[in-house]
Amino acid sequence: MRPLVDLHGRRIRYVRVSVTDRCNLRCRYCMPDSGIEWVPHDQIMTYEDLYRTLKICIARGVEKVRITGGEPLVRKGIINFIEQLNMISDLSDLSLTTNGILLGPMAHELKQAGLRRVNVSLDTLDKKKFSYITKVDGFDEVIKGIDSALDHGLSPVKINVVAIRGFNDDEIPRFAGLTRTLPVEVRFIELMPIGCITKYPEREGINASEIKDSIELAYGPMVQLKGGLGPAKIYQIPGAQGRIGLIGSLSEHDFCGACNRIRITARGHLRPCLFSEDLVDLFTPLKGGISDQELEGLIEEGVRRKPPSHGICRGMVLVQEGPRTKMSDIGG
C-alpha cells in the first residue's frame, strides 16, 4: 500500500466528510438565520461518489472517517451510507459529529449500522440559552440524544463545547463536572474564524489555557492523559469517570505539525486544511466519469496542497466583505 503523504512528510490517516450543507439548527456563530443559499441537491456529492472517493482514500492508508455536515443526520439515506462504509475492512474508526437533535431516535440504528462513536455539539446546559444560541427549542432532544448514544453503546460519546466569552464561560466548571459521573469526554473548543465569525475572535474567544484554569479552580489540578494524534490535549479530574479535552485551535496550534487529516465538503471539494481555500474539485470530474486512477490522482493533488500550518493568528480578518464562507465548504 502506498500511503498518502503530504509535502511536509505527514501521513494522511483521517478524512472528515461533510454529507450535507443543511442543518436543523441556526447557531449564531455558525449560520445566519436568513439569506442562506443551500447548495442544490444535484450539486451535493452523491453517496456513491463519496463512497468511491473514501474507498480510494482507505486503500491508500486512511483509517478513520468522520461524518459531519451541516447536520449529517438530516440527510436521507445516512444509515445506509454508514452501513456501506462499515463494510470496508481496512476502516478502523467510523464516527459522526451531530448536533444531537435527531440522535435519540436514531442512535440504535446508527449503532446497528456500524457507527462506533459520536461527538455531540452542545454549548450550554441551560435550556433558555440553548434556544438563544441555536434559535431552536431543542435542548431536551439533545440531552435525550446523548443518553440514547450512551445507552446504545456508542463509545466514547464526546460533547463538543465551543467556548464563548459572555455566553458560556460561566458554565465551563459545570460542563467539566459532568465527567465526574458520566463516561463522556467533554471537549472545549476555541471559537474559530469560520462560519459567521469572520475575524480572529479576540474578545469572544477563550483560550484553552484559560479554560483549564477555570476547571482547576473548581476541581483542583487535573491529570494529563496521553492523547491521540488529534488536536485535543486530554485531562481528567482525579477520580472522574470521563475525560476532558482542550482544543486550542488558535492559541496552541502546534498540532498542525502532526495533522493527519483532509476534508471532503458536501459539494465535493477536497479541502486540505480547515482554513485552506486551496480546494481540489472532485465533484465535476466525478460527474464527468473519471476513472478510479484519475480520482486517486486528484486526491493526491489535494494532499500535496496541505499547508504546513493553518497560519491563523491574532488580528486576522478572514472575510471583510463579499460572500460568506459556506458551512458546506467547512464541514465539522
Among 197, 222, 246, 286, binds ligand SAM (CB under 6 A): 197
Does 97 bind ligand SAM (CB under 6 A)? Our answer is: yes
Between 84 and 124, CB nearer to ligand SAM: 124
Does 192 bind ligand SAM (CB under 6 A)? Our answer is: yes
Distance CA 45, CA 70 (A): 13
Distance CA 81, CA 254 (A): 34
The residue range among 65-73, 217-225, 263-271, 305-313 that interacts with ligand SAM, by the rule CB under 6 A, is: 65-73
* Burial grade of 196 (CB within 10 A; 0-12, 13-18, 19 or more): middle
For 164, phi then psi, to 5°, come to: -130, 120
Among 15, 23, 78, 286, binds ligand SAM (CB under 6 A): 23
Does 21 bind ligand SAM (CB under 6 A)? Our answer is: no
- Residue found under cell 460568506: 324
Between 128 and 199, CB nearer to ligand SAM: 199
What b/e readout covers 117-127, taking b as 16+ CB neighbours within 10 angstroms?
bbbbbbbbbee
Does 242 bind ligand SAM (CB under 6 A)? Our answer is: no
The residue range among 63-71, 137-145, 178-186, 210-218 that interacts with ligand SAM, by the rule CB under 6 A, is: 63-71
The residue range among 47-55, 140-148, 192-200, 302-310 that interacts with ligand SAM, by the rule CB under 6 A, is: 192-200
235 with 249: CB under 8 angstroms?
A: no
Among 30, 133, 266, 303, binds ligand SAM (CB under 6 A): 30
Q: CA nearest 282: which of 294, 268, 302? A: 268
- Considering Cα of 20, then 23, then 28, then 33, what sign does the dihedral take? positive
Does 273 bind ligand SAM (CB under 6 A)? Our answer is: no
Between 30 and 107, CB nearer to ligand SAM: 30
Does 53 bind ligand SAM (CB under 6 A)? Our answer is: no
Residues ≥6 apart with Cβ < 8 Å to 91: 58, 62, 63, 64, 65, 85
Q: CA nearest 195: which of 303, 69, 75, 73? A: 69
Does 168 bind ligand SAM (CB under 6 A)? Our answer is: no
The residue range among 6-14, 23-31, 55-63, 286-294 that interacts with ligand SAM, by the rule CB under 6 A, is: 23-31
Note the residues at the interface with ligand SAM (CB under 6 A).
23, 29-30, 68-69, 71, 97-99, 121, 160, 162, 189, 191-192, 194-195, 197, 327, 332
